[in-house]
Amino acid sequence: MHKTLFRSIRHARAALILTIIPGLLGTGAIIVQMALLSKVVNSVFLLHQGLAQIKWLLLLLLAAIIVRAGLVWIREIMAQKCAIRVKSELRRRLFAHLLQLGPAYSKGESTGELVATISEGIERLDAYVSRYLPQLAFSVLVPLVIVIYIFPLDWASAVILLVTGPVIPLLMILVGSYAEKQVQRQWLALARMSAYFLDAVQGLPTLKLFGSSEAARKRVALLSDGFRERTLKMLRVAFLSGMVLEFMAAVAIGLVAVTLGIRLLNAGIPFETAFLVLLLAPEFYRPLRELGVHRHAGMEGKAAAERIIAILETPVPYSSAGASDGALGDNRATGADLSARPCHSERSEECAPCPHNQLTITFTGVTYTYPGSEHAALDNVSLTLPAGSFTALIGRSGAGKSTLVNLLLRFMDPQHGHVTVNDVPLAEWPVEVWREYVALVPQRPYLFYGNVLTNIRLARPDASDEKVEQAAELAGALEFIRQLPQGFATGIGERGARLSAGQAQRIAIARAFLKDAPLLILDEPTSSLDARSEFLIRQALERLTQNRTVLVIAHRYNTIAHANQVAVLENGKLVKVGDPDELLQPEGIYAQPGSPGKAVFL
Amino acid sequence: MKLLFRLLSFLSAFRWQAAFAILLGCAMIASNIALLGMAAYLIAAAALAPLLVTLTIPIYIVRFASVSRAGSRYLERLVSHDVTFRLLAELRTWVYSRLEPLAPAYLQAYRSGDVLTRLVSDVEELQNIYLRVFSPIMVAIAIGLLTFGLFSLFSPVLAWTALAFLAVTGFGVPLLAGWLARGLGEQQLALRAELNAHIVDGIQGVQDLLACGRASDQESKIAHLQSALGRIQGRMAFIAGLQQAMNDLLMNLALWTLLILSIPLVISKAIDGVYLGFLGLVILASFEAVQPLGQAFQFLGHSLAAGERLFKIAGAIPVVRDEITSGSRLAVLTTDNGHLPNNGVTGAAVSTPGPGLVYQEQLSAPEKLFGPILEFEHVHFKYAPGENEALEDISFCAAPGKRIAIVGPSGAGKSTIVNLVLRFWDPTAGVIRLDGQDIRQHALADLRKVVGVVAQDTYLFNDTIRGNLLLARPGATESDIEQALEQAQLADFVRQLPRGLGTWVGEQGLRLSGGERQRLAIARTLLKNPPLLILDEVTANLDPLTEHDLLATLDALMQGRTTLIITHRLIDMERMDEILVLDEGQVRERGTHEQLLKAEGLYHYMLDVLHPAYR
């Protein structure tokens, strides 16, 4: 696992080694300290020397103590440096990859989980990288160094350590592998428990309406108690591995002490050596014990790393043309060769002179199936959006309308068939360049962290204040923006003003005016907005749809009535294309049965 | 401090287990002190005494200590986790029962900022107060005193020195580290919040970002925040490393100082030299007790902050007081034991088309479904003093079985009317009557038994479809459920699910579409079978085709019930007995669909100009 992670991160391995080196030097300092200490005790206890006679020994001891602490400090800093580097590199990559995967992927996953992976999941790698991984190395290297040092001093004790040492990880693995699965399951149950609690709290109004809030409280208590009992049953086994470690370490130290004592009685070993071996014995087991402490962090980190790698390895759903930022240079060259392109530069300002009504878009036999789905979201769809025309796309939710739009925006590429723009296959356009020619007004526009000005400028970050203001005016948004506490500088979102759905819609329309792109894609809101917004948006859209190729996912009678052509999708198939009069006839498929020609719900 | 005691008071229900765990924690460290100390003594004694017999007791102590070390550690972990889980259960039920009377009025203010999620994680934070804060501090104090006692057997100077080093390491170093890192924690939190906001933006707004070609901007913003975060974390690592190094240094300095102090005592024979190694290892082993204190103080800070937030929410006063105990007169209206007067309703119910009739026959006798009279009499309401009136002088009367629609632009006060009927709030002036009696005279539980609500946002629990349905009537039989699903036109959908009614919905399972959610809500309400029905913008989040499909189902639900329909979409208005056009909290117009059209007022304008699609 960590190999895959580390291979992808430059210098991470070097940083890890820089953590291990001070750690091992620290072990050296401990050995020196303990050797000096046993010498001091020996001199005082057996040789009856006073402070004056051993002052150099004591000063050396002090020096070893200070060096040891210094090495701890360096090791900690290095470990964190390594973790910080891994975290920032992974977060950057993960985010970039998610952007490339696009809205189709984010929609299928739970947003909360993705955000949690990028923010919390990556932070969880902290303990994994800075504690667990170095500790893994220490738990092998430090006991080895100590036992190699002890061996020439007293081989009998070294053998005791050597025999008991490997038994500990062995037993821990035996007990652990049994308990591990149970532990994982219980942590999952714990997470579910708090999810249940959150669910009950969030659903309190509903529970109250059904008079079940008291029952839910009892259930919270009952579930918590049941969880506690089951968890404790499991922990009784899981904690055994910790007990085994403690027991083996304690027994081995005791054994070392007793055998040393007996050999001392027989004068088989000098006191100084015996005392030194006793001092070093706990140091032999310390790294293993600390590994046990960091094991949980290690497991958590591992789980997080698995999820991160899974996301990073999800393939990007469109062909490589312009997909990777690194390849942008090549794409420019490719782009310039497209003779039929309306504009030969990808810089948007230079596109300004491009005539707006020049894009003709053709779908030919387009089929798209989402990964993991059995049914095609779009099935052999052929449709032409003539230059400068207004096409209304209608159909029930799930009919494939959003898929069509996503393909047009190249959030993914079709598996069969192709989309052409002025007879040039869309796949030959670098993605970034193509999107300069498209303006999108989504059904629920997303407003970003920041103020009103930056939110409108999203379409064109270098636009002047006047241009932004003009776009806002055209979108019918200027009036409400002026009434906000700080006008265009008013923050949006949690910290700032909350905009109504209608106001957000108008911000998105202002973006589209500012972008001034030859193709406009509009996803009409299904729910009706407040009256004033509804009125202003209608006016703004009339202005916006002039002189462009327009594709609208339409829900409103008015919109459909004004279209040049109406395309009807049903279960991924294009079932009808025609002009609105034809489709809105009483016998047309979308007229409401029972009240001929009157009420239309789209 | 008061806060701390208040938090600790949650432990009182299981104080004996808590005390036992602390005792075991002390035993675990004391065993290690005994093990290492006696091992050192054993070796030293062996170097002097030629007889094995003199070593028997130390050898037994060493053996005993190594077993008790492992045993007490095992038991300590078990008991302390038991205490922690008990504490968690206690905290959860406490928070829940405190929140219950506050919902939804008080909680509505918090809908945005995931405050509820915050609350849940605060509860989880607080479970640490025992395991990671209280218990380590108590153990450290006890072991400190034990070490002090041991050293006093030899010399008071040694005892005080040992205690001083333990105290400085346990309390001084965390204080120093806290002082050095002051502000860094907040800075990190703020940066991470900002980073999070940008990540959420990037993921939720990915469509807009990509369409506008601004993906790389967002990436560089995140890279920028990330490196700022890295700098802060680097500084924190510097301090955390210092803290560890200080712990290590102080432990060994304590050893060194005690050596310097005891060597003259050994030379002067005040202390037997055989104990020199013993003293050294005792002080080293005793530091195990103070090492976790740095972490304990960090957790203490978090727990106090979490506790403060919880107590603040939990201490809020409910806006509505339930002064009447259950079982008042209204209870007879509920369908379970209801004997509503049969005033010719049977005829009306029989005339109901197909499925409605079947339903009524099977679920309950038809005469119960006629509904009570709901009256508003000069009702005024303000959400907070000083604010504008959300409702101004509202009066209407919904006779049994009638349908009243309340229409108007958003913000007109339509939903406020629902909140008042359900007594989530009480009117500032005026009276709401149900069946002729002021609703404040009814127990809340009884009132809510009578009213069924299908709202715009249906909350479905992370549970099976059956679980979500049984919420409405815990005792419902399979055939009741089948009936309700059939009538909500959801039966076919449920049947084709592999696990049928046992399918999980919500985050862990099936994601239902808007229409399916609403049908489930309708089925739930059918099971509850309330005589008074409120439809609060039921179709607002649905696309018009789905909305259209749902209308017939809603119509069946309304049969035989007094219904209050809140909507800003003027659909099916011909079927309403009265329409109230609400604007800015006032009734501007009222009458039937035809009367209002003729009047050519606001209603006509809404229908004709703003929503031509609905004509």
Residue A327: pLDDT band (50, 70, 90) is very low
- The CA R_g of chain B, rounded to the nearest whole Å, is 35
pLDDT in tens, A446-462: 888 788 898 898 888 88
Q: What is the DSSP letter of B389?
A: P
Rounded mean pLDDT, B410-421: 80
Are the beta carbons of A455 and A448 closer than 8 angstroms? yes
Rounded mean pLDDT, B480-508: 84
- B88 contacts A224? CB cut-off 8 A: yes
Q: For position A325, what pLDDT does the model report?
A: 39
Q: For position A141, what pLDDT does the model report?
A: 93
pTM for the model stands at: 0.76
Report the chain B residue with the minimal C-alpha distance to residue A53: B263
CB atoms within 10 A of CB B417: 26
- A111 contacts B203? CB cut-off 8 A: yes
Name residue, tokens 């923006």. Answer: A481
Q: Which has the closest alpha carbon to B487: B520, B461, B459?
A: B520
Helix (H) or strand (E) holding A419: strand A416-421
Name residue, tokens 């009884």. Answer: B446
Contacts of B157 (CB under 8 A, 6+ apart): B261
Are the beta carbons of B487 and B355 closer than 8 angstroms? yes
Q: Which has the closest alpha carbon to B356: B471, B489, B476?
A: B489
What distance in Å separates the CA atoms of residue B580 and residue B597, rounded to the nearest whole number?
13
Lowest mean pLDDT segment, chosen from A81-95, A101-115, B573-587: A101-115
Q: Residue B104 is nearest to which of A205, A240, A254, comparing CB atoms? A: A205
Rounded mean pLDDT, B12-18: 89
What distance in Å separates the CA atoms of residue B174 and residue B184, rounded to the nearest whole number?
15
Chain B interface, best mutation among A86, A124, A528, A539, by max B CB count within 10 A: A528
CA A574 to chain centre: 37
Give the phi and the psi of residue A38 in degrees, each rounded to 5. -65, -35
Structure tokens at A475: 């979108």
Q: For position B608, what pLDDT does the model report?
A: 66
Residue B339: left if φ>0, alpha if ψ -120 to 50, beta else—which one? beta
Q: Which has the closest alpha carbon to B70: A157, A239, A279, A293?
A: A239
Dihedral (CA of B143, B144, B146, B150) sign: positive
Q: Is B343 exposed, middle or buried (0-12, 13-18, 19+ CB in 10 A)?
A: exposed
What distance in Å separates the CA atoms of residue A460 and residue A469, rounded to the nearest whole number?
13
Q: For position B362, what pLDDT does the model report?
A: 37
Percentage above 90 pLDDT, chain A: 22
Q: Residue B116 is nearest to which of A37, A61, A198, comparing CB atoms? A: A198
Q: For position B506, what pLDDT does the model report?
A: 66
Q: Is A400 exposed, middle or buried (0-12, 13-18, 19+ CB in 10 A)?
A: buried
Q: Please report residues of A whose CB lies closer than 8 A to that of B112.
A: 494, 498
Q: Residue B248 is nearest to which of A69, A208, A528, comparing CB atoms? A: A69
What distance in Å separates the CA atoms of residue B482 and residue B496, rounded to the nearest whole number?
14
Lowest mean pLDDT segment, chosen from A288-302, A332-346, B509-523: A332-346
Q: Which has the closest alpha carbon to A511: A575, A440, A411?
A: A440
Instruction: Give the distance between the most distant pair of CA atoms in chain A.
Output: 115
DSSP helix/strand/coil, B452: strand
Q: What is the DSSP letter of B464?
A: B
User: Is the N-terminal amide bond of A425 cis, ω within 30° of 0?
Assistant: no
For chain B, the average pLDDT equals 82
pLDDT in tens, B215-267: 888 899 899 999 999 999 999 999 999 999 999 999 999 999 999 999 999 99
Q: For position A380, what pLDDT does the model report?
A: 92
Structure tokens at A497: 């003003």
What distance in Å separates the CA atoms of residue A397 and residue A572, rounded to the nearest whole number?
11
Q: Is B317 exposed, middle or buried (0-12, 13-18, 19+ CB in 10 A)?
A: exposed
Q: Residue A458 is nearest to which of B208, B273, B615, comparing CB atoms? A: B208
Q: Note the ipTM here.
A: 0.77
Q: For position B246, what pLDDT does the model report?
A: 95
What distance in Å separates the CA atoms of residue A254 and residue B559, rounded to the nearest whole number?
83
pLDDT at B353 over 70: no
- B200 contacts A115? CB cut-off 8 A: yes
Report the chain A residue with the minimal C-alpha distance to residue B108: A205
Name residue, tokens 């990915």. Answer: B206
Chain A interface, best mutation among B96, B539, B549, by max A CB count within 10 A: B96
Q: Distance of CA B350 to CAs B105, B355, B363, Å?
A: 40, 11, 14
pLDDT in tens, A17-47: 888 999 999 999 999 999 999 999 999 999 9
Q: Please report residues of A whose CB lies closer than 8 A to that of B255.
A: 37
pLDDT in tens, A491-509: 876 545 667 778 888 899 9
Rounded mean pLDDT, B307-332: 68
Rounded mean pLDDT, A62-71: 96
Chain A interface, best mutation among B43, B48, B222, by max A CB count within 10 A: B43
Name residue, tokens 């609403």. Answer: B518
Q: Which has the closest alpha carbon to A432: B216, B177, B568, B414?
A: B216
- The CA R_g of chain A, rounded to the nearest whole Å, is 35
Lowest mean pLDDT segment, chosen from A316-325, A474-483, B118-127: A316-325
- B112 contacts A527? CB cut-off 8 A: no
CB atoms within 10 A of CB B146: 17
- A556 contacts B610? CB cut-off 8 A: no
Does any CB of chain A come closer than 8 Å to the CB of residue B117?
yes
Q: Which alpha helices (DSSP H) does A451-497 contain, by range?
A: 452-457, 465-474, 478-483
Q: Which has the closest alpha carbon to B419: B92, B3, B103?
A: B103
Lowest mean pLDDT segment, chosen from A193-202, A400-409, A411-420: A193-202
Q: Who has greater pLDDT, B368 or B187?
A: B187
- A88 contacts B276? CB cut-off 8 A: no
pLDDT at B509 over 90: no
pLDDT at B146 over 50: yes
- B226 contacts A601? CB cut-off 8 A: no
- The number of C-alpha atoms within 13 Å of A187 and in the hemisphere containing its C-beta is 11
* Apex B175 CA angle, B171 and B178, nearest 5: 145
Q: Who has greater pLDDT, B241 or B547?
A: B241
Q: For position B106, what pLDDT does the model report?
A: 64
What one-character-per-residue DSSP string does A127-190 give? HIIIIIHHHHHHHHHHHHHHHHHHHHH-HHHHHHHHHHHHHHHHHHHHHHHHHHHHHHHHHHHH
Helix (H) or strand (E) holding A576: strand A573-578
pLDDT in tens, B430-476: 999 988 888 888 888 888 888 888 988 788 887 888 988 888 888 88
Strands B451-455 and B532-536, how do they pair?
Answer: parallel
- B544 contacts A555? CB cut-off 8 A: yes
Q: What is the DSSP letter of B431?
A: E
Are the beta carbons of B45 and B350 closer than 8 angstroms? no
Q: Which has the closest alpha carbon to A455: A519, A533, A512?
A: A512
- B119 contacts A254? CB cut-off 8 A: no
What distance in Å separates the CA atoms of residue B72 and residue B589, rounded to the nearest whole number?
78
Of A292-301, B90-99, B133-142, where does the model show the most confidence? B133-142
Q: b or e along B512-538 (b: 16 or more beta carbons within 10 Å of the residue's beta carbon)?
A: bebbbbbbbbbbbbbbbbbbbbbbbbb
What distance in Å separates the CA atoms of residue A115 and residue A110, rounded to the nearest whole number?
9
CB atoms within 10 A of CB B568: 23
pLDDT in tens, A222-280: 888 887 888 788 778 778 877 888 888 888 888 899 899 888 888 888 999 999 999 99
- A500 contacts B410? CB cut-off 8 A: yes
What one-character-per-residue DSSP string does B67-116 give? HHHHHHHHHHHHHHHHHHHHHHHHHHHHHHHHHGGGTTHHHHTTTTTTHH
* Apex B8 CA angle, B4 and B9, nearest 5: 115
- B96 contacts A261? CB cut-off 8 A: no
Q: For position A218, what pLDDT does the model report?
A: 84
Q: Who has greater pLDDT, A313 or A141?
A: A141
What one-character-per-residue DSSP string does A504-565 give? HHHHHHHHHHHH--SEEEEE--SS---HHHHHHHHHHHHHHTTTSEEEEE--SHHHHHT-SE
* Apex B267 CA angle, B265 and B273, nearest 5: 80
Are the beta carbons of A292 and A245 closer than 8 angstroms? yes
Q: For position B173, what pLDDT does the model report?
A: 94
Are the beta carbons of A564 and A390 closer than 8 angstroms? yes
Q: Which has the closest alpha carbon to B444: B426, B427, B423?
A: B423
